[in-house]
Structure 1
Amino acid sequence: MLAVDHLTRSFGELIAVDDVSFTVPDGKTIGFVGGNGAGKTTTMRMIMGLLTPDSGHVQWDGRPITAADRRGFGYMPEERGLYPKEPVLEQLVYLARLRGASRAGATAEATTLLEAFGLADRAKDKLEKLSLGNQQRVQISAAVMTEPTALLLDEPFSGLDPEAVDSLAQMLKTRTAAGTPLLFSSHQLDLVERLCDGLVILSHGRVVAQGGREELRDRGTNHYRLTMTSDTGWVRDAPGTTVLDVAGPTALLSFDSDRARQGLLRAAIDHGDVIELALVRPSLADIYREVTK
């Protein structure tokens, strides 16, 4: 298990990461989200030892992390770190050999990954000849090679088409199913909701919410959708009711109390035929907007 304990890092007067703590359990996928400048990349760099924290520490398997531990991690930085003028397959093999793989094993694994990403026919091309999306696929391949003990991926889905997103998602699920802890950052909250077991939300360098998907939904504000056969504009005058949206026969509402909800339902029946008054649980995107506003 990867554990981040009270990490803090400043750049001059700017506190980029402010007392951040969270864990990434074995075999779990944790989404790391926040706006630009929230501190995600700085935190990942401290985990990888690329930046020294002002305070706090990182643990691996219940003890202080070492350089040897980090060499076993698969890390994908936000900025591409490959060689633009080198052939794709050749540099993937080179990077895998730096991590202890044999040439034959690295060649076989790199070829399999390139095939999975639809790049088998570009293996001998220089990286700079590939589109930005395909360069992203190669960068991901470099991060996941040689069976890393943990994965830290900074915006791995950026620039990928839907087919590549599905390929990467399946690849990551295979890794976590084998017990690998995965931390990835993304601005694509639909992907985070689809793939992650838990979520860590940063805002201005601080953790403003974290937990499992269902746990966070339980903390979020529940809304209700009223659907009738007639117009629902009358709900604007209902006591104890906050109207979030009204569109003809459908209204999205929240209530001050159960009594207010029951009162609105009775009023709805008086106004016409009620199709439903249904609970609408918050999505992760709703929770993100709620805790970062």
Structure 2
Amino acid sequence: MNSRIGRIEAVGLTKVYGDKTVVSDASFTVEPGSMTGFLGANGAGKTTTMRMMMGLLEPTAGQVLYSGRPMTAEDRASFGYMPEERGLYPKQPILNQLIYLGQLRGLSAAEARDIATGHLTALGLGDRLKDKLESLSLGNQQRVQIVASLLHTPTALILDEPFSGLDPKAVDTMVSMMHELMRKGVPILFSSHQLDLVDRLCDRVVILHEGQVKATGSATELRGSGAPRFRYSAGADAGWLREVPGVRVLDVEGTEALLEIAPAADLESVRTTILSEGMQRQMHEFARVLPTLGDIYRGVTSQ
């Protein structure tokens, strides 16, 4: 792993504008070689947090650490960053401006040309190299912006809605590029409203709601953090489950039910009761149901 690659840590990041707190005491980590999904509704504070991490906004309080020390401008100079407001030149040919951006990142013109051409071709724009950016669709402009963030083989990636406007093939190509960087140890943080995509791709998840981190951890940790849910099916009516102490029946339809075990209840005792009674009612199934990322998101943001 590149010695310049490290762990990114947001510690108590806070941003206040006048009497409005946009981000409040946000703390989370982005580990080397991992992909972290940043979830939150519009206005939750994701973009503000990313801008503070990139040094584009001064935090009101808190700091960003890199490899355990305060992050510097030199550290950030080697990062790949895709902002919410795309920053390319609409009237310039796409390859020319990518070469220019690559040179600003320390590449030679020839290196930048080769890397940009390869990435653009992989993303389906190999025949549009001389076209002006403004002539491309929004989705294709997004592809060019992605290439701009990857040109210099970054030591970290911070991407604001990178998959917005991309078709499935382009998403797959982008994911392959990100995985290649992860294999080199690069930490990746990206925001997205596509919960299924985050669920499929990310090692860790951060959920931001009204400027506060409501949940953070691996998908496995988050799925195991809530009240246990079970699916029950039998040959007789399942309504009796409502009478079991410690059980909350979320949905029941005839012989089938979805239930939740209260946090204060003894899980094994409740399970034993249901299994014992259920066997007398021709029980077919009593199985743990793991929540989806969407379930987790809705749960923590509704509290």
For the criterion TM > 0.5, the same-fold answer is: yes
Aligned to 1:239: 244
> Structure 1 residue 232: deviation in Å?
4.6
Unaligned runs of 5+ in 1: none
- For residues 127 and 203 of structure 2, the distance between their equivalents in structure 1, rounded to whole angstroms, comes to 35
Correspondence for 2:3: none
Confirm or deny that 1:39 pairs with 2:32: no
- 1:95 is aligned to 2:101: yes
Partner in structure 1 of residue 300 of structure 2: 291
Per-residue deviation, residues 163-214 of structure 1 (Å, max 9, x unmatched): 1111111111111110111111111111111111111111111112111222
* Partner of residue 145, structure 2: 139
Gaps of 5+ in 2: 1-6
- Deviation of 1:250 (Å): 3.4
Query: Is 148-157 or 24-33 further displaced after alignment?
Result: 24-33
The change in CA–CA distance for 1:267 and 1:7 in structure 2 (over 3 A counts) is same
TM-score by length of 2: 0.90
Query: CA–CA distance in 2 between the matches of 1:47 and 1:215?
Result: 25
* Aligned-partner residue type, residue 70 of structure 1: R
Letter in 1 for 2:275: L
SS at match of 2:10: strand
Distance 1:269 1:237 in 2: 17
Give the TM-score taking structure 1 as reference length.
0.92
- From 106, 115, 139, the counterpart of 2:112: 106
Verify: 1:265 aligned to 2:275, yes or no: yes
Task: Kindly tell me the number of residue pairs found equivalent between the two proteins.
Answer: 291
State the shift of 1:248 in Å.
Answer: 5.2
The equivalent residue for 2:33 is 27
Distance 1:238 1:123, change over 3 A: farther
> Structure 1 residues 247, 117: CA separation in 2 closer, same or farther (over 3 Å shift)?
farther
Q: Which amino acid aligns with 1:45?
A: R
SS in 1 for 2:107: coil
CA distance in 2, matches of 1:239, 1:62: 50
Percent identity for Structure 1 against Structure 2: 53
| 2:239 counterpart letter in structure 1 | W
8 Å contact 2:250–2:259 — kept in the other structure? yes
> Letter of the aligned partner of 2:111 in structure 1?
G
Do residues 205 (structure 1) and 211 (structure 2) align?
yes
**Rounded Cα–Cα distance in structure 2 between residues aligned with 1:231 and 1:192:** 39
